[in-house]
Amino acid sequence: MKHPDYDWMLFGCHPISDIAMAYCPCEHATSSTRAFRRLLRLYPKLYAELCKNGYTEHFTILTPLHIAAVIRELGMPCEAFFEKQKRASRETP
């Protein structure tokens, strides 16, 4: 299986829906965005850093500072996906 290339995230500003689709893939962008915003709140250190850099729940565009904070905390989307799979396999009996 070929892993998607997420290098586009490393340059410039991006709509939160694009970043959300990378970290929380769902059928609809709005579902991904909602799931991504919930995910951000699960990491208090990350959420605090985002807020320090001006993030609010009403942002539709993430700046490079915001994206860098997300990547530092969660890793690149493909890494986050594999971590989630590993955690799930350890938790199931």
- Tens-digit pLDDT profile for the chain (93 aa)? 445 678 888 899 999 999 999 998 889 999 999 999 999 999 999 999 999 999 999 989 999 999 999 999 998 887 655 666 566 666 665
The rounded distance, in Å, linking the Cα atoms of 33 and 24 is 8
In this structure, the number of other CB atoms found within 10 A of the CB of residue 79 comes to 13
Q: What is the pTM of this model?
A: 0.78
Where are the alpha helices (H) located in the chain, listed in sequence order?
16-23, 29-41, 44-52, 64-74, 77-91
